[in-house]
Structure 1
């Protein structure tokens, strides 16, 4: 019986010269003959990461929500998670398609003979791992330089938060319907780095759907929320008793800020600065 290391070595030797073997977040193994020159990205955070790694020119199509950097807005838009245009993707003849693990078209694309890599960054550790994976895929030698930039930026944001704002308990609503950012999400991890608390414990998962009464009982001292979800916030049953609402400690993020805050990728340092500014302005007095 061959030892595991010998099996791995045998498999590696069997690959053609220059070939790349990638195991994605669904456990699927994809072999690329060479770094792809035609890339489709169906997740905004992956689109931004590809560009930050210097491979924006290789993108030939993106999902409808990918809008940064500005150059990707000129690319064919291929739909969203529930209405991905498979025929249009196939017509673009990509060398690889990057998508979320929740995508419903992975198998259809593979059945068409396309190379598919599913990646889902949800935490800081995930972001580092995805950077490594995309660095391998794209043939970029030091993908972790992006992580070092992110990490330094988050640390700088944390240093800007005054002691008076540290420890405040935050409720961060990431989407209408009371979907929240938990401690184990990348947003929650940023809050922790900034010295804030989180009313959504890690055991509830990264982005759980929360009962409104749960938030009332938790009584957060600060609420972070997007423009679309903020309407009628104070009129939710019982929410007028929440300390954050009584004291006006609510940060309402504009849609463009929401994009930055919700994407686990190169702009996470900028997201940390947005959160830090909220903490300074609403809880630092």
Structure 2
């Protein structure tokens, strides 16, 4: 693809089918999604990232060198306006529609919508196109894709329940990126017949009888102290606190997921 010269705008369709016109290459980028913030830095764009959220913890310097513009679901519009962004990166699930629509009235807003590895790889490549870092993005996507190709599930898949929240209990179910990661890692999601992030009861968990229970480190910060709580419900299950970032961050962090999933295979 022949990209336009820097003096011309670039028009691309985002993952929601919206046409977005961006000055190319964008020089003042605001990222409203932690995993996409990390991706921008890994593509060598640190100097162009002017705004991030308070949850953009990777890389560690992101919140020091860029302005923190609120959370993923509560934007500080005045701070964003002061940054004069020429590109804002968001996500359908992680951000909130009203805030995104308000920003889109003034700025180019490109949105991702990701529930599978293929969609994550497409996002990485498209962010590369948006920012003029196609070669780096393509190389990264190729590495990630290859690592998952080499991920060989165990001969006997293990059934698992993946918890993202406590009080009420909530799990990752069908149609989520986490569910796709579980499947690729060789696990069977016992709540795959339910949609998105349903609440489940102790009784439902006991009836599902998973062989393993994964307690995610995010968004709820499960710790080892919570293991006993689930051991009471499913005493025969293997219970582990797992790195939620390696299951749910769909940017460059995926290059580390395959090795981690191998460690988790029972």
Q: TM-score, normalised by structure 2?
A: 0.83
Distance 1:148 1:175 in 2: 33
Correspondence for 2:144 among 133, 140, 150 = 150
Q: Which has the higher helix share?
A: 1
1:261 to 236, 244, 247: 247
Q: What per-residue deviation string (whole Å, max 9, x for no partner) do you get for residues 66-125 of structure 1?
A: 1112231312111113321111011011111111224231222233x2221222322212
For 1:99, the equivalent position in structure 2 comes to 90
CA distances 1:170-222 after superposition (whole Å, capped 9, x unpaired): 11112333332235433222222222222122x52343333433221110001
**TM-score, normalised with respect to structure 1:** 0.78
Change (3 A) 1:213 1:233: farther
Equivalent position SS for 2:110: strand
1:190 matched residue in structure 2: 181
Q: Secondary structure at the match of 1:169?
A: strand
Q: Residue 173 in 1 paired to residue 159 in 2?
A: no
1:240 aligns with 2:232: yes
Distance change >3 Å, CA 125–CA 155, structure 1 → 2: closer
1:250 and 2:239 aligned: yes
Count of matched residue pairs: 252
The whole-number CA distance in structure 2 between the counterparts of 1:44 and 1:185 is 17
CA pair 206-276 structure 1, distance change in 2 beyond 3 A: farther
Whole-angstrom distance in 2 between the partners of 1:173 and 1:126:
23
The answer to which structure has the higher strand fraction is 2
Alpha-carbon spacing, 1:269–1:171, altered in 2? closer, same or farther (3 Å)? farther
Maintained 8 Å contact 2:227/2:239: no
For structure 2, list consecutive stretches of 5 or more residues without a partner in the other structure.
1-5
- 1:273 is matched with 259
Change (3 A) 1:79 1:191: same
Q: 1:190 to 1:107 in 2, by over 3 A?
A: closer
* Alignment partners' CA distance in 2, 1:73 and 1:195: 36
Is 2:71 the partner of 1:80?
yes
2:162–2:216 Cα contact (<8 Å) kept: no
Q: CA deviation at 1:233?
A: 5.0
Task: Measure, in 2, the Cα distance between the counterparts of 1:37 and 1:183.
Answer: 38
Tell me whether 1:68 sits opposite 2:61 in the alignment.
no
Any idea what SS the aligned residue of 1:204 has? Answer: coil
- Contact residue 122 and residue 185 of structure 1 kept, 8 A: yes
Single out whichever of 118-127 and 33-42 deviates more from structure 2: 118-127
* Further displaced range: 17-26 or 89-98: 17-26
CA–CA distance in structure 2, aligned partners of residues 175 and 148 of structure 1: 33
> Structure 1: where are the runs of 5+ without partners?
1-15
Bigger Cα displacement from structure 2, 269-278 vs 83-92: 269-278
Q: Kindly indicate whether the alpha-carbon contact (under 8 Å) linking 1:100 and 1:120 is maintained by their aligned counterparts in 2.
A: yes
